[in-house]
Amino acid sequence: GAVVSQHPSRVICKSGTSVKIECRSLDFQATTMFWYRQFPKQSLMLMATSNEGSKATYEQGVEKDKFLINHASLTLSTLTVTSAHPEDSSFYICSGGELDYGYTFGSGTRLTVV
C-alpha cells in the first residue's frame, strides 16, 4: 500500500522562527496531498489541500501566509509554519495515497513553540 513519510517527528522552536515539515510519498506519485492539524483530545482538522505544481487550496479560517505549502514534485509536499507562535503548537499530519485504496497518513509532527 501507499507509504507516506513525514519528518521531523518532533520539533521545538522559538517564537518568531519558521519551521518546515516534510511529507514524502515513498511508493506512489502524489498529485494531491492533505495537511491536517490536531489539538490535544480533538480530532483532525483539514488545513489545506496541496496540489503538485500549483497553489494549495486552504480551508476557511486557515491563514495561507502563515502556513506555506509547497508541492514542487510528485513525491514531496512541505508545510512551513512561518513566524511561529505558541498558539501554533499542535500535531500536524500529512496524508496522501490512492483514493480507491484509502488514504494513508504520515506519522505526524509534534510542534512546540516556546
Partner 1 sequence: KQEVTQIPAALSVPEGENLVLNCSFTDSAIYNLQWFRQDPGKGLTSLLLIQSSQREQTSGRLNASLDKSSGRSTLYIAASQPGDSATYLCAAYRSGSARQLTFGSGTQLTVLP
Residue 106, interface with partner 1 (CB under 8 A)?
Answer: yes
Q: Phi first, then psi: what are they for 40, rounded to 5°?
A: -55, 135
Instruction: Considering the complex, state which of residue 28 and residue 91 has its C-beta at the smaller distance from partner 1.
Output: 91
Residue 31, interface with partner 1 (CB under 8 A)?
Answer: no
Residue 53, interface with partner 1 (CB under 8 A)?
Answer: no
Q: Which residues pair with 113 in a beta bridge?
A: 13
Stretch that binds partner 1, among 12-20, 63-71, 75-83, 104-112 (CB under 8 A): 104-112
Q: Taking the alpha carbons of 3, 57, 64, 74 in that order, is the dihedral positive or negative?
A: positive
- Return the residue matching grid coordinates 514531496: 76
Residue 107, interface with partner 1 (CB under 8 A)?
Answer: yes
From the list 82, 75, 15, the residue with the least C-alpha distance to 50 is 75
From the list 83, 22, 28, 13, the residue with the least C-alpha distance to 50 is 22
Residue 74, interface with partner 1 (CB under 8 A)?
Answer: no
Would you tell me which residues interact with partner 1 (CB under 8 A)? 6, 32, 34, 42-46, 49, 57, 91, 93, 95, 99-108, 110
